[in-house]
Each structure stands twice: as C-alpha cells, then as structure tokens.
Amino acid sequence: MYLLCVTFVIATALLGVDSRECNDYDLSASDQSLIEMMKHYLHTSRGGECPPQGKTSNTGVTYVRWGKKTCPKGVDIVYTGQAGGNYQSHKRGGVNYLCLPNDPENGQHQSYDNDQVYGGEYEVSSTSKPSGWSGSMGSKEVPCAVCYRKQRSAVLMIPGRKTCYKGWNSEYNCYLMSDHKVYSKRDYACVDKNAEPLDNKNGDENGALFYPLRTKCGSLRCPPYTNEADVLCVVCTKSNV
C-alpha cells in the first residue's frame, strides 16, 4: 500500500513536469530529491524479488547414477536406461561408458564393420565383488539413470571417499568400477553401493564390463590409503546460493 502511495506522488510530480515546456523546464531541488528518494526506495524494496545478476533460480546440474534405475529422492529424472560402451576386448575406439536410454530413436541398418556400442554387465563373483554385494549380480546388465538436481551449480565425483567435503551435498555414494586391467582402458565409473540389475537375464555376453577395483600401495601412499581395499567414491553437488 505504501509503495502505491509513493508511486502516486512521484507520478503526480512527473506529470506536473510534463505539463510544462520541456525545453525550458529545470528540476527544482525538491523535485530532484523526490525522484532520488523514489529510486532508492524501489531499489531497496525490490531487492528480495529479483535474483542477483548471473544467478537464476532454475539452474541445476546433471549426473549419471550408475547401477540404479531411479534418481535419489527429490531429484528429477531425465531418463532411465542401460549402461553400455565399447566391447571389452576392443583395443581402439570409444573408452567411456554410456547411459543408453530405454526409448532410443534408432538409425538405419548399416553393413560396415565398426560395432562399438554394446550393453554393460557387472563382472563380479562370490570371490570378486564389492563388500555387501551378492555374487549373483555377475553377468547381469547394468542399469543407469540420468538425474537433474535443481539449484546446484557444480557436480563432482570424488574417488576414495564416501562423504563429501564441507559445502558440498552428497547425491549418492558408491564403489569405483571400470574394466579389467588386462583389457582395453575404460573410464572409471561411480556405481551405486546398492546397485541393482537391469533385469533378471543372465546371458554373460560381455560387452562393456564393470569390474570392482582395489588399491595398490607403492606410488599410492599407504597410509593414508589401505592396500588391496575396495575403492569408494561419492557424487557431490554444490548449491548455487
């Protein structure tokens, strides 16, 4: 109500200015003071309504949640899919894991020989698996979900930790996995500690494989690290305010 009253006063003053000859008119000290007061009031009263320059309330970040079909609670899901990538024995070509959507828009059939997009499988057993996992996960396909966390400005995967540093928010914690060291090089992926299979099929068709990793002391300093241990990781995001 007060804002409306002040607006009316300043509008009346400016109307009086416009009713005179513009070329001849000079603002009096009281008129100038009133205008400056109104500018200051509008600037301060609207400070809470307008976001700071360079920041908007609808910004966010995306990340892949490997090993799960859903995103963490309160996080929007962009799409759910299946992990994939280049075949485990191929020595060239793509090296990163892919989160392939479950509703693809397929291209035309081709006859040339350069197949590089396969499904991904957990390569674990009762004697080679992350702590807490079941060996029955072996050779089952890996699901994934692409997640969108609103009002975040950065996303970071931290290897060797299960908690985020101060000022960062944990999205999910997990085990660091990749292909086996005797095969071609592959990106490291942070696979959810409570990973699940894509479905109940168990074809052992290989493709882009996910092996559990462990540390090796030497050039890796122990302590603080521990020799031949599970490698933990955590996906963290940072607020934009």
20 or 174, higher pLDDT: 174
Same domain, 8 and 82: no
Q: Is residue 168 part of a domain?
A: no
Give pLDDT, residue 82. Answer: 95
pLDDT at 236 exceeding the cut of 90: yes
**Coil, strand, or helix at residue 38?**
helix
Same domain, 4 and 67: no
Give pLDDT, residue 1. Answer: 47
State the average pLDDT over residues 207-220: 92
Q: Residue 7's domain spans which residues? A: 1-14+33-48
- Lowest mean pLDDT of 167-171, 197-201, 223-227, name the range: 197-201
State the average pLDDT over residues 59-84: 95
pLDDT at 203 exceeding the cut of 80: no
- Lowest mean pLDDT of 9-23, 99-113, 184-198, 203-217, name the range: 9-23
Hey, which residues does 142 pair with through a beta bridge? none
The mean pLDDT of the chain is 81
pLDDT at 15 exceeding the cut of 90: no
Q: Is residue 163 part of a domain?
A: no
Same domain, 178 and 209: yes
Same domain, 118 and 194: yes
pLDDT at 16 exceeding the cut of 50: no
Same domain, 1 and 99: no
State the average pLDDT over residues 73-81: 95
Q: Please report which confidence band the pLDDT of residue 61 belongs to, taking 50, 70 and 90 as the band edges.
A: very high
Same domain, 123 and 206: yes
44 or 116, higher pLDDT: 116
Q: Please report which confidence band the pLDDT of residue 22 belongs to, taking 50, 70 and 90 as the band edges.
A: very low
Q: Is residue 5 part of a domain?
A: yes
Listing DSSP states for 148-187 in one string gives EEETEEEEEEEET-SSPPTT-EEEEEEEEEE--TTS----
pLDDT at 8 exceeding the cut of 70: no
Same domain, 8 and 123: no
Q: What is the pLDDT of residues 28-55, one digit of tens each?
A: 666 666 666 666 555 555 554 444 555 5
Same domain, 69 and 90: yes
State the average pLDDT over residues 228-237: 94
Hey, which residues does 101 pair with through a beta bridge? 81
Q: Is residue 226 part of a domain?
A: no
Quote the number of domains for the chain.
2
State the average pLDDT over residues 211-216: 92
Query: How far apart (Å, rounded) are the C-alpha atoms in residues 32 and 70?
Result: 60
Q: What angle do CA 188, 193, 197 make, to 5 degrees?
A: 85
